[in-house]
Copies of this chain bind each other. A is one copy, B any other.
């Protein structure tokens, strides 16, 4: 049985930075070679980043991806790395992009993988199963591939697959069993969802059994707008044994020696030809390629990548939020961020995330007190600043609020919202003056019921916790403080911000509980309605009282949201780490009684 040393490069590409991504491949291939690798794997759409959305329709972009692939093959050879086979994801096209319904059937843009060797593109594979649900729209962009690409290298037959190919039964994994391969490579741009790692491992095991082969699963990491990619790369043997598994949310070179069946042993391989001519699962045709030589088996001890232990949910979410924010700021080249500090839990958690992501010297926190701000709010904001070391400012809003009130006749909600909007204007002025990105701090629960001010506290270019329910915000705060204490550091979040009852402080003595149900009651209903697509009956059946269900659904659907904001024209994303809801704004469907 041959042994291959595999190197899974769990790296962080940037969308659109084709030359930078290619440089990244060269640098990591060098590292893999230094570790004795005999086959190197990079994630899905490595050269372009993922997802590129409608850039697919720009011919210049597709051409740049294809040219970069050829240049990369040549550059690797020039680097002295030509003997080492490298699998890399890229954007290909064998026809014009499918921009309307009358495109040529079966031809168009492709989500592709290539195997590079000795300066050449030795093999190509086009993703067969295209995801078109949740955050994915790949039927919009790509034409599905119809071939199973099998490369013989180092005496082993290796099939190439991409991401969703793993998530659907049949297709390339079933076909791989039919032709009898030893290893299936699966390259990914698989976004993070809470607990997705818990379903990923069993899924890889199921496909390993289906293919009767070892699976090398490599995923990217990084933040891309509203998505976070988590890594969690792994190798699973044909019998389901987890051989090695990489940590989440960090770049990582996972090098591991894998014993694989010799191609001729399997008895299923005719002489390599262009295709076998046999129809496989899903109508796939096999395309065979051969790599004549690979680097010799390394001497010395076997390489073992180790198996990372799963972490607590709170740790996982925290790392996802930190990575998502860091990449949004850095990939868009913002020098720093600014946010309002109210003394409450939401802004405290966002500040702590920002400091973890960027360092305290790149975070500006502004206290924006009004006449309704309590003494403890100002103290808690100052305490947070001291604990985290961020750049702390105080900008009282009362003079501006008073001037508006002196020049207009406003009352009630209009006065409440005015205060939030003056804060927004101040933060945006600091952004314009000093270059910071403004961070928004509304949690998902209050966004869902409209308990926020449009163009007020909703001002900002990025909201790290917009997909985090309020009850999870509290859990995150407690976890982060405990983690600091465990490591002997300063807990960043004031205990008082965690313990006190939440308040918008826009009118005297105001509390969230004046308007909203307790978050312990509210959040499960919101989760069922928004994430679970449950209707009124389904929510009542899962144990909520009809009156409470009606109250919450009415808030979400119309009343509170409209009354407070007066302008529903901005779609609120209800995405929850990969669960994306797209709902009409103009919509008279009402679940509530």
Whether the pair B101, A131 counts as a contact (CB closer than 8 A) is yes
Whether the pair A589, B17 counts as a contact (CB closer than 8 A) is yes
Whether the pair A332, B59 counts as a contact (CB closer than 8 A) is no
A26 to B316, CA, bound (A): 55
Against B, the Cβ 8 Å flags (1 = close, 0 = not) of A53-74 are: 1110111110010000000000
Tell me, rounded to whole Å, the shortest Cβ–Cβ distance linking A518 to chain B. Answer: 26
Chain B residues positioned under 8 Å from A235 (CB to CB): none
Chain B residues positioned under 8 Å from A461 (CB to CB): 566-570
Find residues 432-469 in chain A having any chain B CB closer than 8 Å to their own CB: 432-433, 435-438, 454-455, 459-463
Against B, the Cβ 8 Å flags (1 = close, 0 = not) of A219-255 are: 0000111000000000000000000000000000000
Tell me, rounded to whole Å, the shortest Cβ–Cβ distance linking A142 to chain B. Answer: 11
Tell me, rounded to whole Å, the shortest Cβ–Cβ distance linking A63 to chain B. Answer: 8
How many residues does chain A have at the interface if contact means C-beta atoms less than 8 Å apart? 103
Chain B residues positioned under 8 Å from A534 (CB to CB): 58
Chain B residues positioned under 8 Å from A438 (CB to CB): 566-567
Residue of A20, A51, A132, A459 ringed by the most chain B CB atoms within 10 A: A132
From B332, B406, B459, give the contact of A568 (CB < 8 A): B332
A568 to B333, CA, bound (A): 11
A18 to B590, CA, bound (A): 10
**Closest residue of B by beta carbon distance from A428:** B455
Q: A568-B461, A584-B51, A585-B225 are in contact. Are A403 and B399 (CB under 8 A)?
A: yes
Chain B residues positioned under 8 Å from A568 (CB to CB): 332, 461
Find residues 451-498 in chain A having any chain B CB closer than 8 Å to their own CB: 454-455, 459-463
Whether the pair B535, A60 counts as a contact (CB closer than 8 A) is yes
Chain B residues positioned under 8 Å from A462 (CB to CB): 567, 569
Q: A400-B403, A589-B16 are in contact. Are A538 and B60 (CB under 8 A)?
A: yes
From B101, B132, B224, B404, give the contact of A167 (CB < 8 A): B101
A517 touches B (CB below 8 Å) = no
* Of A133-141, A294-302, A348-356, the one touching chain B: A133-141
From B100, B407, B582, B586, give the contact of A327 (CB < 8 A): B586
A23 touches B (CB below 8 Å) = no
Against B, the Cβ 8 Å flags (1 = close, 0 = not) of A117-150 are: 0000000000001011110010110000000000
Whether the pair A566, B16 counts as a contact (CB closer than 8 A) is no
Chain B residues positioned under 8 Å from A101 (CB to CB): 129, 131, 133, 164, 167-168
Chain B residues positioned under 8 Å from A395 (CB to CB): 407-408
Tell me, rounded to whole Å, the shortest Cβ–Cβ distance linking A162 to chain B. Answer: 13
A515 touches B (CB below 8 Å) = no
**Closest residue of B by beta carbon distance from A105:** B170
Against B, the Cβ 8 Å flags (1 = close, 0 = not) of A527-549 are: 00000011111100000000000
A431 touches B (CB below 8 Å) = yes
A567 to B437, CA, bound (A): 6
**Closest residue of B by beta carbon distance from A53:** B582
Q: A132-B140, A583-B54 are in contact. Are A418 and B429 (CB under 8 A)?
A: yes
* Of A36-44, A77-85, A409-417, the one touching chain B: A409-417
Residue of A15, A102, A587 ringed by the most chain B CB atoms within 10 A: A587
A269 touches B (CB below 8 Å) = no
A132 to B435, CA, bound (A): 39
Number of copies: 2
Residue of A327, A408, A570, A585 ringed by the most chain B CB atoms within 10 A: A585
Residue of A99, A100, A224 ringed by the most chain B CB atoms within 10 A: A100
A424 touches B (CB below 8 Å) = yes
Whether the pair A55, B586 counts as a contact (CB closer than 8 A) is no
**Closest residue of B by beta carbon distance from A562:** B332
Find residues 538-593 in chain A having any chain B CB closer than 8 Å to their own CB: 538, 562, 566-570, 581-591
Whether the pair A225, B403 counts as a contact (CB closer than 8 A) is no
Tell me, rounded to whole Å, the shortest Cβ–Cβ distance linking A130 to chain B. Answer: 9
A192 touches B (CB below 8 Å) = no
Q: A55-B589, A328-B586 are in contact. Are A425 and B404 (CB under 8 A)?
A: yes
Whether the pair B537, A54 counts as a contact (CB closer than 8 A) is no
Tell me, rounded to whole Å, the shortest Cβ–Cβ distance linking A204 to chain B. Answer: 15
A400 to B409, CA, bound (A): 14
Whether the pair B133, A20 counts as a contact (CB closer than 8 A) is no
Whether the pair A59, B169 counts as a contact (CB closer than 8 A) is no
Tell me, rounded to whole Å, the shortest Cβ–Cβ distance linking A193 to chain B. Answer: 11
**Closest residue of B by beta carbon distance from A18:** B589
Whether the pair A589, B425 counts as a contact (CB closer than 8 A) is no
Residue contacts A-B, CB under 8 angstroms, 28 given: A14-B588, A16-B589, A58-B533, A60-B537, A60-B591, A61-B589, A99-B133, A101-B131, A132-B132, A137-B140, A139-B139, A224-B584, A331-B586, A331-B588, A399-B403, A400-B407, A408-B430, A408-B433, A410-B429, A414-B433, A417-B428, A417-B432, A418-B429, A428-B454, A428-B567, A431-B567, A435-B566, A460-B567
- Tell me the A residues contacting B by CB distance below 8 Å: 14-18, 20, 51-55, 57-61, 64, 98-102, 129, 131-134, 137, 139-140, 164, 167-169, 223-225, 327-328, 331-332, 395-396, 399-400, 403-404, 406-414, 417-418, 421-422, 424-426, 428-433, 435-438, 454-455, 459-463, 533-538, 562, 566-570, 581-591
Inter-chain pairs besides A58-B534, A408-B430, A408-B433, 10 sampled, C-beta below 8 Å: A14-B588, A57-B533, A137-B140, A139-B140, A400-B404, A428-B567, A435-B566, A460-B567, A461-B567, A461-B568
